[in-house]
Each structure stands twice: as structure tokens, then as C-alpha cells.
Amino acid sequence: VPELPEVETVRRSLLPGLYDGTITAVEVSRFPLRQRPIDRAALEALVGARFTEARRHGKYLMLDTSCGASLLVHLGMSGRLLLVEREAPLAKHTHVVLSLSTGRALRYVDPRRFGIVRSYRTASLPATDELAALGPDPITGTFDVATLTAALETERDLKAVLLDQKVVAGLGNIYVSEALWEAKLSPRQRGEGVRGPQIRALHAAIGKVLRRAVKNHGTSLSDYVDATGQSGWNQDALRVYEKTGAPCRRCRTKICRIVQAGRSTYYCPTCQSR
């Protein structure tokens, strides 16, 4: 599932070519995305415009255009946003195609259809259902130690707090496990049980694992590729995620997997005992 580093890598890999030329045509499939029909008319209103900016907040991409509207994209579970030559073979499960006058096309491919491709007025983006409640972005935003400290005044466990997009936008299963290992904190620890130095360590760990993953072009364990179809290599840098039974890099204890709220967490039971 794409998280902040994967979405950031997609954003960066779109830049060569995205701003060239105008949108000349829009095609959409008849299938809904995240249980909502694709709004063909809203997307067709982009014809004639060109892309002017590619921004990201958490796991959302915002592609602004010259007509005052923006394309809001979320990759969901299995989404791919590709910028390819128009003649390139059309992948199965392609749901949106925006052709560009340069001969290229922006394509959204999503087998599981949990993603989002919607058009909004750029000015209204911050107030949309998707973005209004999002917490700060840990790379580009205002996610600081004070914000994390306030969010940890809760009985919820650390896994749940960090997965909450209202607290911090962009973390998912992979980077929550990795950040908690870096900070030597148990995923089952309650927020209110974490003290000042540990909070600072956790804040630093979140930044560290995300920046390392961006540098490594994201984690490609299943579907994820960037906008040119290239896989990332951060899977080689993971310390705990999907490492059940492998020795902890710090203490050689075998990494364990537990399930919290229906989702897997990986951790070292020795160095993350509390």
C-alpha cells in the first residue's frame, strides 16, 4: 500500500513531462473508484488546461492546472499513476486517461479500486472531505514534537495514534512499524505512557524512516511503482516490516508479527518491550 514515501516518489517522477503541453482528451472507465462513479464531466473540464504544480499532503497528490482546478489523487491500496507515451500498451484496470498534447498520457491504474481521482477547484481543496481533517505532513508540514506530544495524550496504543491521518498524514503500516523500531517503542504502548525523551526519539524516528524511504524511491513489496513504472528499493532497507523470524539488527532477537486492529505490526520484543 503506497504511503508518504511512495506518493512522494510518484510526484517527483511525474515532474519530467507533466508540465509540458495541454490536456487534450479524457477517458474514464465505467467502474467506480472508492465506491463513487468517476466524475467524467469534472475531468473533461480540464481539457485545454496544462498542469502547473504537483503537490503532496500525506498520501494525497494535488495536481494543479492552469484552469483553476486541481486533480486530487489517492492511490488507495493498489493504485498507480503513470506518465507514459500514448502508444504504450494500456494496462488492465486503467480507469482514467488524460492525454497530453506532447503525445504522452497520464494514466490511473487500480485493480482494487480503493483509490481516488477527482477534480476540485484549487481554492476549495483545503476544505474538501478528503483533505480538511488531515493532520500535518511530516516532511513538508508543521508536524513537530509539540504536535506529537499532544496527540499522545490518549489511551490509544502507539500503532493506532501513528496510523491516524488526523494526527500525522502519510504514515501507514510499513513506516509505523519502522519508526517504532527506530525509537525502541512498543507498538502496544499507550500514548499517555510515553515520556518526553521517548516522544522526541519517536518524532525523530518518523522523519528518519520517511526521508530514508524517499531517498530509496519508496518500498516496492507488491504493486508499487513510480510514474515511469520503476520500482523502489527501500524494501532492502526495512528493519522489521515483513521480517518475521529474522534477527533484529540491534539485538539479534527474532522479529515478531502481531495483529492490531486487523493489521499486521512487526517489532522486536526485546528492544521494543515498552
Q: So which residues are the catalytic ones? A: 2-3, 59, 263
Closer residue to Zn ion, CB minimum distance, 4 or 248: 248
Q: CB 250 → Zn ion: shortest distance, Å?
A: 4
Stretch of residues binding Zn ion (CB under 5 A), selected from 15-23, 66-74, 199-207, 263-271: 263-271
Report if residue 183 touches Zn ion, rule: CB under 5 A: no
Report if residue 273 touches Zn ion, rule: CB under 5 A: no
Report if residue 268 touches Zn ion, rule: CB under 5 A: yes
Report if residue 255 touches Zn ion, rule: CB under 5 A: no
Report if residue 123 touches Zn ion, rule: CB under 5 A: no
Report if residue 261 touches Zn ion, rule: CB under 5 A: no
Report if residue 250 touches Zn ion, rule: CB under 5 A: yes
User: What are the DSSP calls for 25-57, one per residue?
Assistant: EEEE-SS-BTTB---HHHHHTTTT--EEEEEEE
Q: Which of 88, 123, 150, 251 binds Zn ion (CB under 5 A)?
A: 251
Report if residue 248 touches Zn ion, rule: CB under 5 A: yes
Q: CB 199 → Zn ion: shortest distance, Å?
A: 21
Task: Tell me which residue has its CB nearest to Zn ion.
Answer: 248
Report if residue 246 touches Zn ion, rule: CB under 5 A: no
Chain residues binding Zn ion by CB under 5 A are 248, 250-251, 253, 268, 270-271
